[in-house]
């Protein structure tokens, strides 16, 4: 059986999630930290808002507790979870070549699973950018890299 057919049958049975990462590289560290703190302040207000024809059910700062040694790592990422399981993740990193890098992760579930990733993700990218006022906060027209 051709791989394309295997993939299509998988999507027919389990549906499809689309993923995209947007990196804003070379941000001034203080400005990037300010942008993230502004987003953190907005998180409690987002539950119930509409994003990409869906509804925000959870918006928080994710912290991880290791199940083996019990150590906790706070503020790992900012999360916005939608009713259908789609999600947006925001992480600030200082590991770029210059300045700070803000990484935005978009994962969108769609029950039909037939479209191209960029088209499936676009409404979520647009709505999150508007909701969080990313253009204004980051003073950028768009990401440096889309992967």
* pLDDT tens, position by position, 67-88: 899 888 877 789 999 998 899 9
Q: State yes or no: pLDDT of 103 exceeds 60.
A: yes
Mean pLDDT of the residues in the chain: 87
| pTM reported for the whole predicted model | 0.83
pLDDT in tens, 21-48: 999 999 988 888 888 899 999 999 999 9
Binned at pLDDT 50, 70 and 90, residue 10 comes out as confident
Using a 10 angstrom Cβ sphere, with 0-12 exposed, 13-18 middle and 19 or more buried, the burial of residue 23 is middle
Which comes out higher in pLDDT, residue 106 or 63? 106
CA nearest to 46, candidates 136, 130, 142: 130
What pLDDT was estimated at residue 116? 77
Alpha helix segments (H runs only) across 1-147: 3-14, 29-46, 117-132, 134-138
Domains of the chain plus CATH, in order, are 16-146 (3.30.310.50)
Cα gap 82→63, rounded to integer Å? 19
What pLDDT was estimated at residue 114? 64
Binned at pLDDT 50, 70 and 90, residue 20 comes out as very high
């Amino acid at each position: 059986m051709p791989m394309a057919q295997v993939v299509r049958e998988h999507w027919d049975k389990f549906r499809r999630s689309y993923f995209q990462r947007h990196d804003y590289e070379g941000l001034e560290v203080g400005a990037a930290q300010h942008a993230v703190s502004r987003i953190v302040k907005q998180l409690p207000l987002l539950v119930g808002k509409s994003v990409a024809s869906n509804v925000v059910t959870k918006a928080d700062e994710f912290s991880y507790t290791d199940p083996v040694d019990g150590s906790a790592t706070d503020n790992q990422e900012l999360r916005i979870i939608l009713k259908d399981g789609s999600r947006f993740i925001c992480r600030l990193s200082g590991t770029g070549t210059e300045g700070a890098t803000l990484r935005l992760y978009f994962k969108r579930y769609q029950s039909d699973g037939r479209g191209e990733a960029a088209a499936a993700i676009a409404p979520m990218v647009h709505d999150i950018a508007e909701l969080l006022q990313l253009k204004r906060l980051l003073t950028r027209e768009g990401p440096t890299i889309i992967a």
